[in-house]
Amino acid sequence: MNELLASTTSNEVTLEDFGKDPLWLVILKVLVIFVALLLLTLFTTWYERRVVAKMQNRPGPNRNGPFGLLQPIADGIKLAMKQGITPVNADVAVYLLAPIIAATAAMMIFAVVPMGPMVSIFGTETPLQLTDFSVSVLYVLAIASVGIYGIVLAGWSSGSTYSLLGGLRSSAQMISYEIAMGLSFVAVFLWAGTMSTSQIVNAQSGWWYAILLAPSFIIYAISMVGETNRAPFDLPEAEGELVAGFHTEYSGLRWAMFFLAEYINMINVSAIAATLFLGGWRMPAPISTIWPGANEGWWPLLWFFGKVFVFLFVFIWLRGTLPRLRYDQFMRFGWKVLIPLSIVWILVIATLKGVQNEYKTDLRTTLLWVALLLLVLAALAFVFDVRRGAREVEEKAPEFDAFAGGYPVPPLPGQEPPVTRRAKATVAGTTVSSTVDVAADTPTEGEETPHE
């Protein structure tokens, strides 16, 4: 157990504080979490549309209610009124079950997220958390893996090629980035000495792990975007290729359940990031030192959701600024960059933690320098890889024939389609009706160009 756990205060939560709530209080917590996630989803959809609108110099939703706050409710009513259409070739049972699996798995993750210290609810002392146990973070990974089944089954059961390809892409993407995400958690486990979410928050009473374990935090921040299928990693929903991906054949409330699962998963990964790397519900040291009651009572609930909304803003910011990656680039980045970097970082953490336990010394400063060195090396490797890729593109590729197989195919990465005479004329600023006209209008040597 980390040495920071020794300096606990009276309002800190321990594992012994769970399992003592009366039944009515457990039901109340479940209902509050369920309603809060629904309301947060509605607000996040409005928040995303307003932020992206500001980035694109347009107003966004501003008609229904003040600042357009009632627009998400109008959208929900519209989806509820739409007819649910089942494709003829669908496996009906699995087709109907898939969105339920996705939405239910997304709802269950918040059960182990700590949102505050011990508080009094109708005279009963209880932690601001539904439950916790010694392997809570493994529970999060397990439930997130179950949510993938909903996406895969939706693509398979729809009886559509586009849906099937979208489901396969999504499953491959989630599995790949879940490995990097899980490896980023291992460093937290090793340094905190626990897998309990409430105890990891207690271990960050001094240093936040976003600073102490910066490589893990950066790896997780990238992985959580890929895990939630958000831009620029929204390849399962590449509109130009797969229409809407795995939920192409869904409509009405069935489609709304996938929509709900996506936004709840955004909230989930943001809450896990705040819990494991940003001190959870704790306010940082300068403010908590000046204001001793900042981490007591109901105030930590405000700090926790403030951190969550910072991550949600980053999700929206990425969507409004970055283009979609190519699928091979995306998968290569996960398997050849994030996962090897995670493994190297885990070896460093395990070594330093073993030395610290053996010699009873504080190696946090050493850990910070090693983390900084590793990030610099990763940045240099990234720049080198980008330059190498640019040089490969500049090298002359073999001539590409779109009709070599008897039917037109798009060029592969690194291949360039031949430039037609029409394209050359267009680039030169000449508007022509056909390549024949270009040839006819080209003056011969010694002949002047006619003017209109």
User: 45: domain range?
Assistant: 14-394
Q: Cα(379)–Cα(338) distance, rounded to whole angstroms?
A: 12
Q: Check residue 21 and report its DSSP letter.
A: S
pLDDT (0 to 100) of residue 7: 38
Tell me whether residue 282 is in a domain.
yes
Tell me whether residue 52 is in a domain.
yes
Tell me whether residue 272 is in a domain.
yes
Spatial CA neighbour of 167 closest among 246, 220, 284: 246
Tell me whether residue 311 is in a domain.
yes
pLDDT (0 to 100) of residue 4: 37
Tens place of pLDDT per residue across the chain (452 aa): 343 333 334 467 888 888 888 999 999 999 999 999 999 999 999 999 999 999 988 888 888 888 889 999 998 898 888 888 888 888 889 999 999 999 999 999 999 999 988 888 888 888 989 989 888 999 998 898 888 888 888 888 988 888 888 888 887 887 788 888 889 999 898 888 889 999 999 888 878 898 888 889 999 998 888 888 787 887 777 666 667 778 888 888 888 898 899 899 999 999 999 999 998 898 877 777 778 778 888 889 999 999 999 999 999 998 888 888 777 778 888 888 888 888 988 998 888 888 887 777 777 788 888 888 888 887 787 777 767 766 665 565 566 677 766 667 777 766 677 666 665 666 555 544 444 444 444 454 444 544 44
Tell me the pTM.
0.80
Q: Are strands 124-128 and 116-121 parallel, antiparallel or unpaired?
A: antiparallel
The single residue listed with the structure tokens 């259409």 is 85
Tell me whether residue 428 is in a domain.
no
Tell me whether residue 296 is in a domain.
yes
Tell me whether residue 361 is in a domain.
yes
How many domains are there within the chain?
1
pLDDT (0 to 100) of residue 452: 42
- For 407, the token pair is 């039917």
Tell me whether residue 408 is in a domain.
no
pLDDT (0 to 100) of residue 46: 92
